[in-house]
């Protein structure tokens, strides 16, 4: 519930002092409501009022920390309303019922996914370990120890308290930090809750239906546990998607704090054994609304589109995606290869590099800081000019790194040719094609 200045003012002692850095308590209350001051800055605020305000001002969706990431905390249903804040994580699942060879295959394939795209590391962030009671505590502990050694976030799913305890002991000291404990339901929450509280872990709540999950969360909150995660699995696709949307809507639109927790979507249960369906559904739940999405396997064919989609969705729509300025050798270009310059707008970078690679001609692609704008927009805004290009050459020491003195500029800013020649007299300025698609023919003929 969003608090207004008047709500806070009603709970603030009327001292009319300057201890809070404000001439009146009403001014202080308004600043608290705007988020520029913390309510505990008032030295006269009684503890009961502080507690009441803290509870009332909690975000509609709580955040949890996991494996160096923040999950939840979203404030809008749709990205275009403002922005999505905390990106979802992708993970794979292993099971105590699997043989060791199959487990090693899943883990090795997942660990091979580790690359950078537009300044962001793309990798499989977590592994879910299904610890079945019938396979025993020892088997669960061995598997959890193996997964913990990968350095990825660890989710342990166990419905048996003894198996859960053994798995958590094996997870102690994991490089990625504390695991998430999954498996609490309407039948076992009274035994699972003390385990989670003892270890200070996030507890995952599951059930046969959304009503079951809701009731169990309410009972856990009554027991004082608000460090929870909602597990969505073992449901048909349609019901699982509806559940994810209803949970988010209940928290953000209806103000129902019981559903104000992040969700884990277990596609290995929802679409068991169908890796293609899981990959398709992973994109759906990236949009609506999984905080952790678990699949049987994640290889490069799945990772490339999924991570690209996630990066687009969890980027502030008001801030363009940018590439780091610098020198990018294409087609094994060396210091003798000609240079081609463009802006740091991510879409421009990918389009241009694709055509440069297709040409097969070694080229050093120079990316200059243009504020994330496209070529024409950057030129119109003064972000791409002879002066900015000259400054970039000096700051990046392009002359010292590159022996070639041929510089190809985008055809859409051909008007800059003369000015660039005056700023960079040692360079031969060549006007390239107006569109990236013309680069292949242009470079081969040049």
CB 140, CB 129: distance < 8 Å: yes
Write 207-213 long-range contacts (CB < 8 A, 24+): 208/234, 210/243, 210/246, 210/247, 212/185, 212/186
What is the model's pLDDT at position 5? 46
Rounded Cα distance between 100 and 143, Å, is: 9
Tokens at 164, concatenated:
């859960």
What is the model's pLDDT at position 1? 44
Domain ranges of the chain: 5-56, 63-313, 326-445
CB 240, CB 223: distance < 8 Å: no
User: Could you state, in chain order, the average pLDDT of each consecutive group of 10 residues for the chain (446 residues)?
Assistant: 51 53 59 64 72 69 94 92 93 97 96 90 96 96 96 97 96 92 97 95 96 97 95 94 96 93 97 94 96 96 94 84 94 96 94 95 96 94 95 95 96 96 96 95 93
Residue from 19, 88, 63 nearest 286 by CA: 88
Rounded Cα distance between 195 and 181, Å, is: 9
- pLDDT single digits (tens) 174-221: 888 999 999 999 999 999 999 999 999 999 999 999 999 999 999 999
- From the options 2.40.30.30, 3.20.20.20, 1.10.3110.10, 3.40.1190.10, give the CATH code of 63-313: 3.20.20.20
Question: What CATH number should be reported for the domain whose range is 5-56?
Answer: 1.10.15.40
Residue 128: strand, helix, or coil = strand
> Does pTM surpass 0.85?
no
- Fold entry, domain 326-445: Rossmann fold (3.40.50)
What is the model's pLDDT at position 22? 47
What is the model's pLDDT at position 102? 96
Straight-line distance from the first to the last Cα atom of the chain, in angstroms, rounded to the nearest whole number: 64
Residue from 261, 262, 264, 259 nearest 292 by CA: 264
Phi, then psi, of 59 in degrees rounded to 5: -65, 155
Question: Which residues, in sequence order, are bridge partners of residue 230?
Answer: 205, 263
Rounded Cα distance between 46 and 94, Å, is: 51
Distances (CA, A) of 443 to 166, 338, 355, 416: 63, 10, 10, 20
CB 347, CB 378: distance < 8 Å: no
Write out the DSSP string of 264-281.
EEEHHHHTTT-HHHHHHH
Work out the number of other CB atoms within 10 angstroms of the CB of residue 146.
17
What is the model's pLDDT at position 302? 93
Residue 205: strand, helix, or coil = strand
What is the model's pLDDT at position 47? 77
Which residue is it, tokens 């990205």?
Answer: 79
- 5-56 and 326-445: same fold? no
Distances (CA, A) of 430 to 158, 299, 353, 399, 410: 65, 42, 18, 17, 9
Tokens at 273, concatenated:
């054994």
What is the model's pLDDT at position 320? 80
Distances (CA, A) of 146 to 9, 33, 150: 55, 48, 7
Scanning 12-88, the segments in alpha helix (DSSP H) are: 25-34, 47-56
């Amino acid at each position: 519930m969003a608090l207004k200045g008047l709500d806070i003012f009603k709970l603030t002692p009327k001292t009319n002092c300057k201890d809070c850095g404000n001439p009146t308590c009403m001014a202080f209350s308004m600043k608290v409501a705007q988020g520029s001051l913390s309510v505990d800055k008032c030295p006269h605020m009684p503890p009961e009022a502080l507690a009441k305000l803290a509870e009332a001002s909690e975000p509609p969706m709580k955040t949890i920390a996991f494996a160096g990431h923040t999950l939840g905390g979203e404030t809008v249903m749709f990205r275009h309303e403002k922005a999505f804040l905390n990106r979802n994580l992708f993970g794979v699942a292993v099971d105590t019922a699997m043989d060791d060879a199959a487990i090693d295959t899943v883990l090795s394939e997942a660990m091979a996914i580790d690359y950078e795209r537009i300044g962001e590391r793309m990798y499989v962030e977590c592994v879910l370990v299904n610890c079945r009671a019938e396979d025993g505590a020892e088997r669960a502990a061995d598997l959890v120890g193996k997964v913990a050694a990968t350095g990825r976030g660890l989710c342990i799913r166990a419905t048996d308290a003894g198996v859960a305890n053994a798995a958590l002991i094996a997870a102690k000291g994991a490089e990625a930090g504390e695991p998430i404990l999954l498996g609490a339901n309407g039948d076992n929450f009274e035994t699972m809750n003390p385990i989670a509280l003892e270890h200070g872990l996030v507890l995952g709540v599951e059930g046969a239906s959304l009503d079951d999950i809701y009731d169990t969360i309410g009972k856990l909150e009554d027991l004082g546990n608000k460090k929870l995660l909602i597990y969505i699995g073992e449901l048909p696709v349609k019901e699982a998607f509806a559940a994810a949307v209803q949970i988010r809507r209940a928290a953000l639109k209806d103000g129902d704090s019981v559903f104000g927790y992040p969700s884990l979507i277990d596609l290995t249960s929802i679409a068991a054994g169908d890796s293609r369906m899981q990959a398709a559904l992973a994109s759906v739940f990236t949009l609506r609304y999984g905080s952790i999405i678990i699949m049987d396997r994640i290889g490069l064919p799945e990772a490339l589109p999924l991570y690209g989609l996630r990066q687009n969705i969890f980027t502030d729509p008001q801030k363009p995606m940018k590439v780091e300025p610098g020198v990018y050798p294409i087609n094994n270009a060396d210091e003798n290869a000609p240079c081609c310059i463009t802006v740091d707008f991510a879409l421009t970078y990918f389009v241009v590099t694709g055509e440069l690679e297709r040409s097969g001609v070694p080229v050093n692609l120079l990316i200059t800081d243009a504020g994330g704008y496209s070529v024409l927009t950057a030129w119109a805004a003064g972000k791409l000019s002879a002066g900015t290009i000259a400054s970039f050459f000096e700051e990046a020491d392009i002359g010292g790194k590159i022996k070639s003195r041929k510089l190809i500029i985008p055809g859409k800013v051909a008007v800059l040719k003369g000015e660039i020649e005056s700023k960079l007299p040692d360079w031969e300025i060549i006007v390239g094609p107006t569109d990236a698609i013309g680069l292949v023919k242009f470079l081969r003929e040049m």
